[in-house]
Amino acid sequence: MPYPKVIFFSGFLGSGKTTLASVTARLLTDQGKKLTIIINDAASNGVDEKYLKSQGYPIEGLSGGCICCSQAAEIGKALDKARATDCGYILIEPSGTASPSALLKVLKNSGCPENRLFHITLVDPLRAEAHFAVLEPFFATALPIATAAVIPKIDMADAAMLAFARKVIRDHNPEIPVFEMDLQAGLTEGYAGFVLKL
């Protein structure tokens, strides 16, 4: 069996990672694809894990620490469990504190082939300017290694907020596709087509 396609999502707490993981999972299952979601709640209460389980998806939960550091040793085990189900996709939602570049290294070291590994990062337009002011190094490391970027919450953001989010993305990675969506309203055709062609 070929190695499953691994899609991991990054973004700050509250940016919409859980929602994007959920609607992406729905897209794939509606197409008859089998998947497992690995979710990392840095806290031990597992709120996001419980939500995704309530949607009916197979879940491997890693809680009580960050997936790219204190829980790094567990990711290989979670990947092996997911692969044992013969799934075609593994979706990974790390905690909001996870470093995408560190997680990418952990996944490669755990045996995930680079050509089966995809990174989708979210840039929250409502808070992009505030985040950028104090956390620019996150964008500087996350965006260059991203396969695609998503700007969520377009129903709540004004034109200036959207323009700033677009600029942050383009300044750090002018080549990647950018999808702007109200995740509560569903996925755009462009994003759906992109995911299904990975």
Q: 119-138 pLDDT, tens per residue?
A: 999 999 999 999 888 888 88
Q: 99-113 pLDDT, tens per residue?
A: 899 899 999 999 999
Residues paired with 41 in a beta bridge? 63
Mean pLDDT of the chain: 89
Cβ-defined contacts of 39-48 (< 8 Å, 24+): 39/92, 39/93, 40/66, 40/67, 40/71, 40/92, 40/93, 40/94, 40/95, 40/98, 41/95, 42/66, 42/95, 42/96, 42/97, 48/18, 48/93
- pLDDT score of 69: 63
CA distance 142 to 49: 23
- pLDDT score of 70: 55
Report residue 29: phi and psi, to 5°: -70, -35
- pLDDT score of 152: 98
- CA distances to 47, 60, 161, 178 from 169, in Å: 29, 31, 13, 8
Output the CA angle 96-132-173, nearest 5 degrees: 90
Listed as ranges, residues in the chain with pLDDT below 50 are: none
Report helix, strand or coil for 117.
strand
CA distance 17 to 97: 12
